[in-house]
């Protein structure tokens, strides 16, 4: 479904030195990245990191204070209209009209984007099919559960066959099975050539992205594929400890003051260690000396969330306290 305007060869999104200041406050500071066509790209960061500000600039809703950005080949400042026509946007609030039926919502968004008559009919059929909403066209949107509403909102955002789709926290509060279905739809869209830029808090979800950037206090602090980021951005390694008394173990390990992080995972403990070779035997000894039975102590692969937190803390050290 890609584009009809000859811009199909460059990256889908090119951001160079993008900056946004509000008075003295630098919300986005010299951020650069590229997103390939048909890629699922994750844009991650804590609340207030500058994610939404960046997206608003990419959508042409906010004028950058510096730098430039092109979306599907068009400049977001000089060619805002051209950009808007070619992109879709789904916000975390699912901007649907609850008082309208499923079909009326699609009609409404079709109207907004100038999708008419035959084309509209065709797109509606496709979307209802995709979202699994065939036969529920006349249901009031308010009566849909979270997962259905989410898929309808996705449908509304792609009614005009956008080349790039921006998803802002699309799965907040949606259950795991609905999230899985949603991601399958996103994969299908990407494979058909739509570029996807998604922001999310949930790191297990970020694993679905082919490439990611982490943004922290307006700065880009990491970029790469989930695997690359796990290798390059984890400060320390994760050690998992299985003992007979996790509560006591946790306070013993905290008291050692050696670890970046000591966290409880059910009956297991994860610590982040800067020196696995030295710490593995030390952990075992400290716990057994205190009378605990240690079933296992081993290094495990970090999750993307481990990496994110490690990276965020490192950035706080470099950029100043929160």
172 scored as a contact of other proteins (CB under 8 A): yes
Q: Which two tokens stand for residue 303?
A: 């999750």
Taking CB under 8 A as the criterion, the residue among 10, 114, 176, 281 binding other proteins is: 176
Q: How many residues bind other proteins (CB under 8 A)?
A: 48
Taking CB under 8 A as the criterion, the residue among 187, 228, 231, 274 binding other proteins is: 187
143 scored as a contact of other proteins (CB under 8 A): no
Q: Cα(191)–Cα(195) distance, rounded to whole angstroms?
A: 9
Taking CB under 8 A as the criterion, the residue among 73, 218, 226, 302 binding other proteins is: 226
Q: How far is CA 121 from the centre of its chain?
A: 32
303 scored as a contact of other proteins (CB under 8 A): yes
For other proteins, what does the binding mask look like between residues 19 and 58, x meaning CB under 8 A? -------------------x-x----xxxx----------
Closer residue to other proteins (CB): 246 or 282: 246
234 scored as a contact of other proteins (CB under 8 A): no
C-alpha distances (whole Å) from 146 to each of 67, 136, 169, 171 are 38, 15, 14, 9
- Contact positions with other proteins (CB under 8 A) in 190-209: 191, 193, 201-204, 207-209
Beta carbons within 8 Å of 304's beta carbon, 6+ residues apart: 203, 204, 206, 207, 226, 229, 230
Beta carbons within 8 Å of 141's beta carbon, 6+ residues apart: 96, 97, 98, 99, 100, 101, 102, 105, 149, 152
126 scored as a contact of other proteins (CB under 8 A): no
99 scored as a contact of other proteins (CB under 8 A): no
Residue 302 burial by Cβ neighbours in a 10 Å radius (0-12, 13-18, 19+): buried
183 scored as a contact of other proteins (CB under 8 A): yes
The enclosing H or E element of 239 equals strand 237-243
Residues in touch with other proteins (CB under 8 A): 38, 40, 45-48, 145-147, 169, 172-178, 180, 183-184, 187-188, 191, 193, 201-204, 207-210, 225-226, 247, 250-251, 263-267, 303, 305, 308-309, 312-313
């Amino acid at each position: 479904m890609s584009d009809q305007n000859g811009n199909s060869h460059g990256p889908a999104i090119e951001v160079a030195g993008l900056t946004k200041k509000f008075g003295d406050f630098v919300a986005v500071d010299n951020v650069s990245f590229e997103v390939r066509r048909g890629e699922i790209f994750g844009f991650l960061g804590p609340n207030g990191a500058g994610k939404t500000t960046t997206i608003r600039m990419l959508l042409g809703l906010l004028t950058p204070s510096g730098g430039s950005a092109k979306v599907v080949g068009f400049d977001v400042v000089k060619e805002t209209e051209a950009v808007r026509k070619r992109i879709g946007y789904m916000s975390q609030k699912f901007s649907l009209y609850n008082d309208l039926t499923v079909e009326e919502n699609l009609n409404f968004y079709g109207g907004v984007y100038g999708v008419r008559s035959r084309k509209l009919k065709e797109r509606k059929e496709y979307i209802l099919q995709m979202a699994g909403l065939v036969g529920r066209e006349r249901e009031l949107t308010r009566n849909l559960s979270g997962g259905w509403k989410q898929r309808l909102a996705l449908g509304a955002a792609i009614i005009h066959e956008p080349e790039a789709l921006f998803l802002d926290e699309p799965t907040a509060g949606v259950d795991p099975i609905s999230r899985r279905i949603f991601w399958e739809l996103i994969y299908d869209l990407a494979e058909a050539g739509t570029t996807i830029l998604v922001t999310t808090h949930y790191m297990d979800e970020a694993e679905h992205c082919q490439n990611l950037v982490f943004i922290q206090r307006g700065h880009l602090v990491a970029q790469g594929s989930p695997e690359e980021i796990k290798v390059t951005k984890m400060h320390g390694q994760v050690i998992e400890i299985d003992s007979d008394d996790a509560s006591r173990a946790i306070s013993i390990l905290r008291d050692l003051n050696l670890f970046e992080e000591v966290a409880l995972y059910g009956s297991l403990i994860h610590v982040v260690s800067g020196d696995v070779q030295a710490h593995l035997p030390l952990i075992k000894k400290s716990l057994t000396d205190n009378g605990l039975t240690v079933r296992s102590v081993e290094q495990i692969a970090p999750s993307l969330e481990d990496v994110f937190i490690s990276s965020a803390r490192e950035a706080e050290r470099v950029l100043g306290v929160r």
